[in-house]
Each structure stands twice: as structure tokens, then as C-alpha cells.
Structure 1
């Protein structure tokens, strides 16, 4: 399997893990690395057991994401960071649209690699953080065929437990990658232009899948 495909696989797993296909148990008591380990194991098992998810059934994937996303990820923070300074000038309706289109973009972009999940194992590395830290990086690796894939999570401590707000695949942070793309659109067309571009990309991705 080519390294590019492994990168897509890793991004898929971390995206789905961040969106939480498994319920969050005892979130307030879990350490961030323990949470990632549990989610990773449960998500991999869920993907391997569900042929519909593996084959990219978007209705099934979206239903799972929509039912579990909020307990596990601060998606507003993730979207705001990707949009950059323009987020503060966006209206509540624009912010809502940005989150919706960004979520759809992430799911549709990486869902195609779900059928490649078979013998991969995710190993969570020992956490380097003080007990009082409220913002940490949990590092892990996806091991299977070929070289290990670096897979890291930026997490913040919230009253309800640890939340993921950024993702790193092979040394590239997801938010920073999209921030540069979004900045070009915003500079050229404004926030509404970015929303329209994301919506069009999502329609195009959906058409390719159908």
C-alpha cells in the first residue's frame, strides 16, 4: 500500500475517532492518552465490523458522526482556527454554515479510505505532560503494512472531559493545512465565498461517490 494511501487511512481513522463513533465513558476521569487509546481501539473495531461504513455509506457515516461528534471534539474551535481571523467577523449563521460544510468536507474527503482498514493497529505513546496541564498533545502511530504513520492529537481539558481540536498526520497539522487554503478564498471572495466554495466541493465529492 502506498504511503499516500496510508496517510489517507490515518486521516480517516483520526477524523472518525475525533468525531467519536463510540460513546464517551467516564470522560471527566479519563486521561487524554487513555481516551485516545480507548477511542482508537473502539473505532477500529467499529470500522472493521461494519461493511456499510467500510464501503463509504455516507448516510451511515454521517448519522454516526452527527450522533457522537460533540462529546469528543471541540469542532467550533477547530473550524474557527481553520478559518482564521475572519471567523470573528462572521455572523452566527455564517459560522454555523462554515462548521457544517467543513465537517462534510472532512468526512467526504477521508471516507474513501475506510475500506483499507484491516490489520492496522494504533499505538499511543506515553504522554509527556504534567497532571495540571489543560492543553496537551497525544502522540500515536498507525502500524500495519509499510512504515508507521505518525498520528497526533491536540487536546484541551473542558469541564466534561478532554476534547480534540486539531489533528496531525505525518507531521502536518490539519487545521494549519486548511487555514492556508481558506485564507486564499476569504481574501478573494470573503466568508460567503468560502462557504460557497466548500459547498461546491462537497457537492462535487458527493457526485463522484454516486
Structure 2
């Protein structure tokens, strides 16, 4: 599975070029505050985290992943095959998918090197249930990379990320071809087994 480059860009977040304002829409505040906190911790604790990776896994698990909806992301990544899965299989896919991203995110964050994020003007309306937060990531070795975060508002008013579009490529769609190939080869159980094997390997089990 070749996702490292996309996830590297997604997670190279830093304090925004502009200063956060109290009037910022809630989806923008969510993304900015999460990025600011996580990267502040990485800067402060990098030697410790490089020595013991369990700390970075815990940081990702606690501060980043609660803002993602892995069931919706898994459904999008599976596409038409989602309807073939039982409820138990759907839960297992979402769980394995989440672990895959936890470990990929954690490894990626340790390679952070002070890239900057520019938060673009927000185009949503106060009563919108689905919005996009648009950003550009600036680095010294290339043009800025556009990153758009797609979020929806839950029934209790929270915002959840259900996709990230990097330079025009959807994270969810990027997984879809690989997931489809695994399903065609070994069915839904084959996909789950493939994800589980990958995760066990990353755990060193």
C-alpha cells in the first residue's frame, strides 16, 4: 500500500501563517488547534519520542484520531463493496483502517520539519452540515501544496473529518483502488486479513 507520501503531506502541519481569531468558524478552529497542540508537543518532546515511539502513538490516538470518522472513511474507501460486508466485518475494517493510519501518522509526524500552513478564507455558512477547510502547506523545497479537509457536523454539534484532499487527490479515494484489489482477490475477509497482517507487522508481532 503506497500511502506514505500523501499522509506525509497531510500531517506536516504547523501553526498557521495567520493568527487564529475568536471569530473563526468552528471547523477551522478544530483543525488549527489540533495541529498547534500536536506539533508543539513534537517540538518539545522530539528526542523522547524518537527514543520511545509509544509516546507518539499515544499522542496521535488521543489528539488526532478522535476528530476522524473512520466508519465513514472506511465506507468511502470500500465503495460499492461496503454493502457486501456484514456489520461485524464493517466494524473490523474500520478498526484495522484506524490502526493503519495511527501507525502511519505517528511515523510521519516524527519527520516533521517546521513546514507552515496557510489557512485560506472559509467559504461555508453557519448552518452548513458539510464544509471544507482549505489550507496550503508551504515548504522550502517546492511550491505550496493545497490540502482541503472535508468535515461534517454530527447531530450533537461536533465536527468530524471524513476525508482529506491533498493536491486534488482524496485520501479516501486513494485507498479505494487498493481495497478493491484486495476484495477482488480474497473477498471482504481477504481485505481484513491483509490490513491485519500489515498492522501486525508494524507492531512487530
For 1:82 and 1:177, how far apart are their aligned partners in 2? Answer: 8
SS of aligned partner of 1:55: helix
Q: In the superposition, relative to structure 1, how do residues 34 and 160 fare at CA in structure 2: closer, same or farther (>3 Å)?
A: same
Bigger mean CA offset, 54-63 vs 158-167? 54-63
Unaligned runs of 5+ in 2: 14-23
Which TM-score applies when normalising by structure 1? 0.77
Specify the alignment match of 1:200 in structure 2.
197
1:182 lines up with 2:186 in the alignment? no
SS of aligned partner of 2:159: strand
1:109 lines up with 2:109 in the alignment? no
Give the length in aligned residue pairs. Answer: 191
Q: 1:51 aligns with which of 39, 46, 52?
A: 46
For 2:184 and 2:82, how far apart are their aligned partners in 1? Answer: 13
TM superposition shift of 1:206: 3.9
Calculate the aligned-residue CA RMSD, in Å: 2.8
CA contact (8 A) 1:56 1:112 kept: no
Bigger mean CA offset, 4-13 vs 125-134? 4-13
Q: In the superposition, relative to structure 1, how do residues 117 and 62 fare at CA in structure 2: closer, same or farther (>3 Å)?
A: closer
Unaligned runs of 5+ in 1: 15-28
Q: In the superposition, relative to structure 1, how do residues 127 and 46 fare at CA in structure 2: closer, same or farther (>3 Å)?
A: same
Which TM-score applies when normalising by structure 2? 0.79
